[in-house]
Amino acid sequence: MVLVKENSPVALYYQLKSILAQKIMNNEWQVGDRLPSEFELCKEYGVSRITVRQALAELEKDGLVKRRQGVGTFVTLPKIEQQLTSFYSFSEEFRKRGLNPRNEVEKLEIIVPTAKIAKALDIQQDEEIYYLKRLRYADETLMAIEATYLPVRLFPGLSKAELDTTPLYDVMRNKYGVVVDSAKETFGAVAINRREAELFQLPPGHPALDLERFTYAGDQCVEYTVGVVRGDRFRFEVKLN
Domain locations in the chain as residue ranges: 12-75, 80-237
Which residue spans within the chain are E strands per DSSP?
65-68, 72-75, 80-83, 101-111, 129-138, 141-151, 182-191, 207-217, 220-230, 234-237
Query: Lowest-confidence range among 22-36, 104-118, 120-134?
Result: 22-36
d(CA 4, CA 14) in angstroms, rounded, equals 9
pLDDT at 76: 80
Judged against a pLDDT cut of 60, whether residue 82 lies above it is answered with no
Judged against a pLDDT cut of 70, whether residue 10 lies above it is answered with yes
d(CA 145, CA 41) in angstroms, rounded, equals 37
Give mean pLDDT, residues 136-153.
90
Beta strands at 72-75 and 65-68: parallel, antiparallel or unpaired: antiparallel
The number of beta carbons lying within 10 Å of the beta carbon of residue 72 is 15
Return the percentage of the chain with pLDDT > 70, whole number.
84
Q: How confident is the model at residue 78 (pLDDT cuts 50, 70, 90)?
A: low
Its CATH class, for the domain covering 12-75, is: mainly alpha
- The answer to whether 57 and 47 are in contact (CB under 8 A) is no
pLDDT at 186: 87
Judged against a pLDDT cut of 80, whether residue 81 lies above it is answered with no
Judged against a pLDDT cut of 80, whether residue 4 lies above it is answered with no
Determine whether domain 80-237 maps to CATH 3.40.50.10860. Answer: no
Judged against a pLDDT cut of 80, whether residue 72 lies above it is answered with yes
Give mean pLDDT, residues 127-145.
90
Tell me which of 234 and 38 has the higher pLDDT. Answer: 38
pLDDT at 103: 86
| Fold match flag (12-75 vs 80-237) | no
Judged against a pLDDT cut of 70, whether residue 180 lies above it is answered with yes
pLDDT at 89: 59
- The answer to whether 137 and 143 are in contact (CB under 8 A) is yes
d(CA 2, CA 10) in angstroms, rounded, equals 15
Tell me which of 240 and 13 has the higher pLDDT. Answer: 13
